[in-house]
Amino acid sequence: MGTKDGAPAGKRGPYAKSKQRREDIVNAAYGVFAARGYRGGSLQDVADKVGMSQTSLLHYFPSKSELLLAVLERRDSVSGDGRPRDPEDSFVDAVIRQARFNETVPGVIELYTVLCAESITDNHPGRGYFTERYERLRRSYSRAFTALAGEGRLRPGVDPERAAASLVALWDGIQTQWLLAPESIDMAGCLRDYLELLVLPDHLAGAAGAVSSGPSR
Amino acid sequence: MGTKDGAPAGKRGPYAKSKQRREDIVNAAYGVFAARGYRGGSLQDVADKVGMSQTSLLHYFPSKSELLLAVLERRDSVSGDGRPRDPEDSFVDAVIRQARFNETVPGVIELYTVLCAESITDNHPGRGYFTERYERLRRSYSRAFTALAGEGRLRPGVDPERAAASLVALWDGIQTQWLLAPESIDMAGCLRDYLELLVLPDHLAGAAGAVSSGPSR
DNA sequence: GTCTATAACATGATAGAC
DNA sequence: GTCTATCATGTTATAGAC
């Protein structure tokens, strides 16, 4: 545990190669599970893609479900969650920008959409991941909407928690439709429309009573 | 084709029994595919549930994919699409009522959600069904929003086509979250919130310029 | 670390007796 | 119409040589 990332001069080589191999496998599995789902994609498919035998693959990951979890973890590091990268970036802009970026990486959307729904089925190893992800996302967006309300920029009557769940839902659902008919669906446009209904323009702020809610900018 | 439903006195018995058997099979398959997906559910599972051998089952449906299509057809007849049942029912009310009804039949939602995303994967026999269903749904809702615009009841600036896709998306997405956390998600509430943002109350009609767009009611 | 061999099992589908 | 028997294949996972 102590000498995993440091790459000390004394012992180099095998660790780095093994780590690279693991990454290759996860990348291959990423594509296979995206195209065929977890149940539909086999270890043999992954092994073929990475150019090794199926048994060698199991030397790196003890089971198929462990490989899936590694793929899901990778997904998190590859793609953001529509949260602002820096404080200058507004919440709404961050969502739109993330949506536009997603259109350039259809494989990421495919993996997410296919595995998310599949995780609802019996004994699916990805279920915990998606349940927790949803809870975290809803909390995050709910806080963002509450903050906007504090600035007087949330449309009156909007409930932050339902709005958060709805934003996540709209995003997921529009991705599904986009995968089935990319030329008919404007993902970023739909999200923008929705957020513009919820969030009032900046220059109208201050009208609703909201004075102190932390540093405003 | 001529003597299928009429049950003529001259030839009774075998037809009716065979038809009943087919229905039993479809019902069992409905539950199996909902709980395990198409790839995860086996013909053996279905056969066990209906109490017959797997080969006998294939006497009624020539292949697993044919059985899936029969299940999807059944889904259409069991569940509505959120369209008004009679002219007295408004579009918005019809959607809310359908959503509330859906909460009472989780198996229907499960089947739909699981198979829809699974249909994105390679060579899935349900893909055509879902692609067409989405096109039909978007057209239907788009027309409904356009009609509301004609009555001056659609919020200015709302695009009927994107709103239609967004409504479908929101509905799908909220069902996924509901399946993973039923106690945290208010499906009908989220849909109502969204539609109330889009559709203006009845008594405000006529303010926006819209005079003649067919019989108003 | 990588492989071959193989276990142990599940799958969808077919043939043919009754 | 229903069954047993079986085919042909694909699955995850293990054992053990090199």
Average of pLDDT values for B51-73?
98
Residue B97 clears pLDDT 60, i.e. is over it: yes
Q: How many Å apart are A57 CA and D14 C1'?
A: 13
B165 to chain A: which residues are within 8 Å by CB? 174, 177, 184-186, 190
pLDDT of res. A87:
75
Residue B73 clears pLDDT 80, i.e. is over it: yes
- Confirm if B168 and A119 have CB atoms less than 8 A apart: no
CA distance A175 to A172: 5
Kindly report the backbone phi and psi dihedral angles of residue B154, in degrees, each rounded to the nearest multiple of 5, phi listed first.
Answer: -100, 135
Q: How many CB pairs under 8 A join A and B?
A: 151
Q: How many Å apart are B57 CA and C16 C1'?
A: 17
Residue B1 clears pLDDT 70, i.e. is over it: no
pLDDT of res. B6:
44
Question: What residues of chain A score a pLDDT lower than 70?
Answer: 1-14, 204-217
Strand C: which positions are within 7 A of a protein CB? 1-6, 10-16
- Band (pLDDT 50/70/90 cuts) for residue B14 is low
Segments making up each domain of chain B, as ranges: 14-76, 81-203
**If we measure between CA atoms, which residue out of B121, B123, B130, B32 comes closest to residue B72?**
B130
pLDDT of res. B102:
96
* Terminal-residue alpha carbon distance, chain A: 41
pLDDT, one tens digit per residue, over A51-62 is 999 999 999 999
- B38 or B201, which is more confident: B38
Residue B11 clears pLDDT 70, i.e. is over it: no
B158 to chain A: which residues are within 8 Å by CB? 193
A173 to chain B: which residues are within 8 Å by CB? 168-173
Residue B191 clears pLDDT 70, i.e. is over it: yes
pLDDT of res. A57:
98
Q: What proportion of chain B, given as a percentage, has pLDDT over 70?
A: 87
Same topology, domains A14-76 and A79-203? Answer is no
Class of domain B81-203 (CATH, top level): mainly alpha
Class of domain A79-203 (CATH, top level): mainly alpha
Nearest nucleotide from residue B58 CA, by C1' atom: C13
Contact B121 A40 (CB under 8 A): yes
- Band (pLDDT 50/70/90 cuts) for residue B215 is very low
Q: What is the CATH number of domain A14-76?
A: 1.10.10.60
Whole-number average pLDDT of chain B: 90
* Least confidently predicted of B138-147, B183-192, B205-214: B205-214
Q: Which residues pair with A154 in a beta bridge?
A: A199
- Confirm if A170 and A191 have CB atoms less than 8 A apart: yes
Give per-residue burial for A130-141: e unless 16+ CB within 10 Å, then b.
Answer: beebbeebbeeb
CA distance A49 to A43: 10
CA atoms within 13 A on the CB side of B205: 13
B2 Cα to chain A: minimum distance (Å) = 38
pLDDT of res. B85:
82
Quick one: closest CA in A to B157, which residue? A193
B116 to chain A: which residues are within 8 Å by CB? 117, 176
Interface with B, mutate which of A96, A122, A136, A190 (most B CBs under 10 A): A190
Average of pLDDT values for B5-25?
73
Residue B10 clears pLDDT 50, i.e. is over it: no
pLDDT of res. A16:
83
Average of pLDDT values for B132-142?
98
Q: Which residue is nearest to nucleotide D1 (CA to C1')?
A: B56
pLDDT of res. A160:
98
Footprint of strand D on the protein (CB under 7 A): A 41-45, 54-55, 58, 62-65; B 14-15, 17-18, 21, 52-53, 55-56, 59-60
